[in-house]
Amino acid sequence: MNKQKTFIGIRITIWICLFLSISTICIYWNVNKYDFVSIDDNLYITENKYVNQGFSLNNIIWAFKIDDKERTYWHPVTWLSHMLDCHLYGLNPGMHHRTNLIFHVLNSLLLFIVFNSMSREVWKSAFIAAIFALHPINVESVAWIAERKNVLSTFFWLLIILFYIRYTKKTNFLRYFQVLLLFIIGLMAKPMLITIPFVLLLLDYWPIRRMSFEKIDTENKAAGYLKSPFFLLFYEKIPFFLLSACSAYISILSLKQYKNIITIETVSMQLRIANAFLSYIKYIWKIIFPVDFAFFYPYPTSLSAWQPGLSALLLLFVCFFSIQRFKKSPYLITGWFWFLGVLIPVIGIKQAGLWPAMADRWMYVPGIGIYIIITWGISDAVTNQIIKKKVLPILAIMILSVLMISTYHQVQYWEKSTKLYEHAINVTDGNYIAYYNLGTEMTFQGKNQAAIAYYIEALRIKSDYANAHINLGNLLAVKGEYKKALNHFFKALRTKPHNEQIYIGIGNILYKHNKYNKAINYYIKAINCHPKKQDVLYGIYFNLASAYMHQEEFKKAALNYFKALKIKPDDMLSHNNLGIVLASQGRYKEAASHFLYVLRIDPGNKNAKNNLKKVMMHLNVNISE
């Protein structure tokens, strides 16, 4: 009889795993045909020379360094994951998308296995995993290649729990060390795992039931879990808490290097706390009513006091309700405090970069807490056994069907960048980032007039958005509307006084108006901003050298052309101009070598030929003397 039950259990598990895998792959399959998007995919992959070259010793060392990262925190394991994709597939976006999808499928299967192992509730565990796999709030984490860190870190998150379950059945150092090692690797995939020790304590309470103040559950007793008092379980997690603190410190340190942390002078602590309370409610709403998802939700400039006030009261009410029912409904404490606690690192008290009001990707793991409450809560609420056996399965099928349809449609918006941004404009208000990104897309496509219109709309919503001022200034300069362009550059300086692009833009306009001395001052200011991109630095040195050349300050011009050539040794224009400058200083042999270099690459270059003839004439005169 037991063997038959075991066999049936294995068959059910296999069918559940097949359903999770096939249904998830089907609704996400189109991502195989999608391109990279222009938000962060360039930063992480396409324009990242360390990543897109694949594996090498130098690139692996770079992945583990805290510095030399642009606008990102320390997550070396994620960098290695992207490198592996580039090593295997190059810059084929479909294959990069496929890796994300594979991790999402694995995460769904692991979630089922983990909860089934802890609770011995196969169908409830299956339903939690199905919601996780099929809910449209998770589309962003799967369909956005740059969000590899989310699906990858969650893979380690669930492995940690799986190995922790194994450890709780037979506590020894080797099993403990395996959990700790997985935790270290997971933190290096994404520091959001700092909440793991807190989650493990919740699981100790329920469904593992290791805490001794809780009445022993016969099923868990049969499973062999060892009971311990709370203080011992907390003591057991101290190494995890210490590692979490180290990870948080490294993350903050890595962001501080690039001045990427938003100060409370920019966004007040009062507004951050108010938005945090409101965001918790909005996340729950989006899980229950899965509509109007966007890649970016603009951060509010202010909030009416009643909104965060009411949100805080609702959150407190659920907290007290969960605690009150800690014996009758223990899943409420685990689910609710999982949701509240795991979201804390990204709830906005500490902010960096372009911080949104909320983000769908941040619910990838915290949402599991709400799925626990929904699954066990519905089962608890229905006491009639006939309804439980006949109605609840139909209800579950209906819910999952709605989620699948919604997710399938949400995935389509990630097909290309313009589609994604246009959808965000349709479902959100005042989305200046979406308008700005559409402007950059139009600029890339050479549709400058359309780009200008999008930048103007972005600035209508947020008048101090420096990036839109900079890009609009550049486009207006191309059109010859220099006065308007300068106006936008100077407006951008008010909020970004250390941005090299602004100084370059102003310098270029002054250069075109033959105001070389003023242009030189702005190019020097651009260099003092310490730009990280070598292409940008090359452009500054080249323009600065050209301005010095017009001022007939040939020594300074030569010095900057040499600096430009250190960055781009094969640049013919720099070689040609440097040759002219050196010839002006009477350094004819050196000048000749640069003209000859150009002619080796481009034998038909007329400028280099003429310049070389002039230099050779001077050399012949010197020789004859």
State the pLDDT at residue 219.
43
State the pLDDT at residue 136.
98
State the pLDDT at residue 226.
62
* 137-148 per-position pLDDT tens digit: 999 999 999 999
In order, the DSSP letters of 453-512 are HHHHHHHHH-TT-HHHHHHHHHHHHHTT-HHHHHHHHHHHHHH-TT-HHHHHHHHHHHHH
Q: Residue 411 belongs to what domain range?
A: 2-417
d(CA 487, CA 468): 13
Length of the chain: 625
State the pLDDT at residue 259.
67
> Among candidates 6, 89, 85, which has minimal Cα distance to 51?
85
Percentage of the chain modeled with pLDDT above 90: 81
Reduce the secondary structure of 426-438 to three states and give it as a string: HHCCCCHHHHHHH
* Whether the predicted pLDDT of 221 surpasses 80: no
The answer as to whether 39 is a domain residue is yes
d(CA 388, CA 386): 5
User: Average pLDDT, whole number, for the chain?
Assistant: 92
State the pLDDT at residue 489.
97
- pTM attached to this predicted model: 0.92
Higher pLDDT, 288 or 351: 288
* 223-273 per-position pLDDT tens digit: 455 678 899 999 999 999 999 999 999 988 887 766 677 777 788 999 999
d(CA 251, CA 345): 11
Q: What would the mean pLDDT of 500-520 be, rounded to a whole number?
A: 96
The answer as to whether 472 is a domain residue is no
State the pLDDT at residue 621.
46
Confidence category of residue 215, pLDDT binned at 50, 70, 90: very low
List the beta strands (DSSP E) in 516-622. Answer: none
State the pLDDT at residue 5.
67
d(CA 386, CA 185): 47
The answer as to whether 537 is a domain residue is no
* 412-453 per-position pLDDT tens digit: 999 999 999 999 999 999 999 999 999 999 999 999 999 999
The answer as to whether 99 is a domain residue is yes
The answer as to whether 527 is a domain residue is no
The answer as to whether 32 is a domain residue is yes
Q: What would the mean pLDDT of 173-177 be, rounded to a whole number?
A: 97
d(CA 28, CA 151): 14
d(CA 130, CA 372): 12
DSSP 211: B
* Whether the predicted pLDDT of 585 surpasses 50: yes
First to last CA, the chain: 112
* Whether the predicted pLDDT of 364 surpasses 60: yes
d(CA 125, CA 621): 91
* Rg from Cα positions in the chain: 30
d(CA 577, CA 569): 13
* 598-620 per-position pLDDT tens digit: 899 888 888 888 888 888 887 76
Q: What would the mean pLDDT of 312-317 be, rounded to a whole number?
A: 97
* 10-48 per-position pLDDT tens digit: 899 999 999 999 999 999 999 999 999 999 999 999 999
**Is-contact 167 175, C-beta < 8 A?**
yes
| Strand, helix or coil for residue 352 | strand
Check the CA dihedral 533-539-542-545 and report its sign.
negative
Domain count across the chain = 1
State the pLDDT at residue 1.
53
Confidence category of residue 218, pLDDT binned at 50, 70, 90: very low
The answer as to whether 512 is a domain residue is no
The answer as to whether 576 is a domain residue is no
d(CA 171, CA 161): 14
Q: What would the mean pLDDT of 285-308 be, rounded to a whole number?
A: 95
